[in-house]
Amino acid sequence: MNKLRCLLTRRDKVILVFLFAATVVSSIIEILSVGIIMPLITFANNPNLILTNPYSKKIYEFLGFNDTLEFMVAFCWSLVAFYIFRTTYGIFHTYCLSRFSARKLHFFTYKLFQRSIELNYLDFIKLKSDKIRSNITNEASKTSMYVRSLLQLFTEVFTMVVIYLLLLIANWMITLALTIILGIQVYLVMNVLGNKLKRRGAIESQTNANFNEIITKTFGNFKMIKLKGNQKEVCKEFTEVSNELTKTRIIMSTILPIPRHLLETVGFVILVICIWYILAIYKDFEKVLPIISMYALALYKILPAVSRILDAYNQMASTSSAVSLVYEALRHEPNYEANQKCDFKEKIELQNISFWYDENKPILKNVNLTINKGDKIAFCGESGIGKSTLVDIIIGIYKPQYGKILVDSQEINSDNLRSWRKKIGYIPQTIYLFDGSVAENVAFGSVLDEGRVKEACRKANILEFLDEHNGIHTRVGEGGILLSGGQKQRIGIARAIYDNPEILVLDEATSALDSATEEKIMDEIYDVAHNKTLLVIAHRLNTIERCERKVEFTKGYDGSIIATTSNHIRPN
């Protein structure tokens, strides 16, 4: 509960106070709907009691009735109006509860999404994307359900307590016996089933994450699966996870309605015992009919209320693990980056840069490098040696443990990092394209301007191909499956230059292409970058032959990486 309180804003808590007040009104209306049945049955059974009962007699005389039949007709129509009002208010109350819980679902989902994209990149890569996806979709929904169940629990408990007080006034002995019987059942259900649901809820959260993971990795490697022909093995793995999820859902779906079935049986037994006991005491059926009717209607209200209380409690038990997950994901405020201006007119300086994932295994150690504006620099070395890591530090994806980056003597920090990143266009080895148009993919993350999209596509030498189809509105398919490797790479180039960056970074951007396509694309990149600073990470010499300088990465004696800079003579 403390974790949920931390997840609610001050405004949420104010709204909850109003919702609780509305719930009190709803409960009072429910109680009145029970209480007025007793006089209705009493007067219908013997209209003369209208004139002998002091309360009904005062109403009868105040409203000027001359006949008990007229009074009964008016009374009945008043009850009809009351029940119409009760129904209308009930719908309004349900709407308010639903609106609040739905808005909290939106809030939790948005906050989880926002926190995920604001994560430090180093923290992000430590998390499974399926875990993040599961938190945003499943766990946020369950947390919203927890809030809704809490509101329902309060509503039903308040209603039941007041009806219970009414029954105590009517006959405390019968009511006390009823309390003991129902209390034992509720205790058993909450302790036995509640604990089981908590455990199963935690298992379901983990299994859901595993389920999402296997779907993602299966369709992400669809071509490889077709090539290897290992559909059976993949289906077997899917079946194991799906069976575990199904087993958990079957158990939870079976447990949740058990309280209702038990209550229906116990309630009927209680009603029979009440009728037998009342008849044994009073003997006269006419006198006890109103009391029996009141207890029957009270049980009609109480038993579903108890059932809903148990359902709400069980729902809270099964979703409490989701509240913990959402709380853990949101409890730390992200470090939002300021937008202080950063100018790049002269040079970038790397001073004593050291970086590691594990302190005992340094990747970069005391790297110094100066990049002048307009330089074309190649980063070379064996695979996995730290080329991409250094470039990621330069472009602000990673923060070095030691050392600093200066741009025109201004240190890059959290205040100007956002401005610095906007000066960079990045072309990775694998271009991620979503199932949309070329224009949507090129302008991804920025405001879509068709003129700028066309210009970027023209510079990337893909506009002619697009004009043969549906122009910049040509669909690319999921993952760019409707395009060739070279076309996907050109769209990646167009995306990188769409915002007219001052620096272009190629992270082995053409290594997956054949030599002829690679040569064409590199020609296009050099043409686009003729007045820009270009940083190229590559293995093949032909991709860096037009670079002016080369940074060679080699391993030092202590296992750290040494970056050696040299001039690179471009061929004539």
pLDDT of residue 422: 86
pLDDT of residue 439: 92
Q: 121: Cβ–Cβ under 8 A, 6 or more apart, which residues?
A: 392, 397, 398
pLDDT of residue 569: 47
Q: Residue 568 corresponds to which tokens in the numbers above?
A: 């690179």
Q: When comparing pLDDT for 221 and 154, which is higher?
A: 154
* Residue 81 burial by Cβ neighbours in a 10 Å radius (0-12, 13-18, 19+): exposed
Encode pLDDT of 10-55 as tens digits.
888 888 888 888 888 887 887 787 677 778 777 777 787 778 878 7
What whole-number distance in Å separates Cα of residue 379 and Cα of residue 506? 10
pLDDT of residue 84: 92
- For residues 480-488, give the mean pLDDT: 85
What is the dihedral sign for C-alpha 268, 272, 277, 283? positive
**pLDDT score of 290 more than 90:** no
3 state SS of 406: strand
Q: When comparing pLDDT for 252 and 371, which is higher?
A: 371
Look over the chain and give the mean of its residue pLDDT values, rounded to a whole number.
79
Residue type, 263: L
Q: When comparing pLDDT for 328 and 230, which is higher?
A: 328
Total Cβ atoms within 10 A of residue 393: 22
| SS (HEC) of 226-271 | HHHCCHHHHHHHHHHHHHHHHHHHHHHHHHCCHHHHHHHHHHHHHH
What whole-number distance in Å separates Cα of residue 532 and Cα of residue 444? 22
- For residues 259-281, give the mean pLDDT: 71
- For residues 436-445, give the mean pLDDT: 87
What whole-number distance in Å separates Cα of residue 545 and Cα of residue 536? 11
Q: When comparing pLDDT for 230 and 83, which is higher?
A: 83
Cα dihedral angle (536, 428, 515, 438), rounded to 10 degrees?
-130
3 state SS of 473: helix
Mean pLDDT is lowest, of 192-196, 246-250, 365-369, 431-435, for 192-196
Structurally, what CATH architecture does the domain formed by 347-567 represent? 3-Layer(aba) Sandwich (3.40)
Mean pLDDT is lowest, of 97-101, 182-186, 227-231, for 227-231
pLDDT more than 70, % of the chain: 85
| pLDDT bucket at 225, cuts 50 / 70 / 90 | low
**pLDDT score of 572 more than 50:** no
Q: 357: Cβ–Cβ under 8 A, 6 or more apart, which residues?
A: 122, 363
- For residues 536-545, give the mean pLDDT: 75
- For residues 245-264, give the mean pLDDT: 75
What whole-number distance in Å separates Cα of residue 306 and Cα of residue 315? 14
| pLDDT bucket at 130, cuts 50 / 70 / 90 | low
What whole-number distance in Å separates Cα of residue 89 and Cα of residue 33? 13
Q: Residue 393 corresponds to which tokens in the numbers above?
A: 């530090």
Encode pLDDT of 383-410 as tens digits.
777 788 888 888 888 888 889 999 998 9
Spatial CA neighbour of 393 closest among 383, 405, 384: 405
| pTM for this entry | 0.65
**pLDDT score of 236 more than 80:** yes
Spatial CA neighbour of 373 closest among 391, 349, 347: 347
Q: 292: Cβ–Cβ under 8 A, 6 or more apart, which residues?
A: 274, 275, 278
**pLDDT score of 329 more than 50:** yes
Find out if CATH 1.10.10.10 is the number for domain 2-201+256-330. no
What whole-number distance in Å separates Cα of residue 104 and Cα of residue 33? 32
**pLDDT score of 510 more than 80:** no
CB-CB contact of 184 with 55 (8 Å)? no
Spatial CA neighbour of 181 closest among 252, 260, 270: 270
**pLDDT score of 220 more than 70:** no
DSSP 137-187: IIIHHHHHHHHHHHHHHHHHHHHHHHHHHHHHHH-HHHHHHHHHHHHHHHH
Burial 510-544 (b: 16+ CB within 10 A, else e): bbebeeebbebbbebbbebbeebbbbbbbeeeebb
**pLDDT score of 85 more than 90:** yes
What is the dihedral sign for C-alpha 321, 122, 219, 446? positive
| pLDDT bucket at 516, cuts 50 / 70 / 90 | confident
pLDDT of residue 336: 58
Q: How far is CA 357 from the centre of its chain?
A: 29
DSSP 197-234: HHHHHHHHHHHHHHHHHHHHHHHHTHHHHHHHT-HHHH
- For residues 54-63, give the mean pLDDT: 82
What whole-number distance in Å separates Cα of residue 69 and Cα of residue 44? 9
Domain residues of the chain, as ranges? 2-201+256-330, 347-567
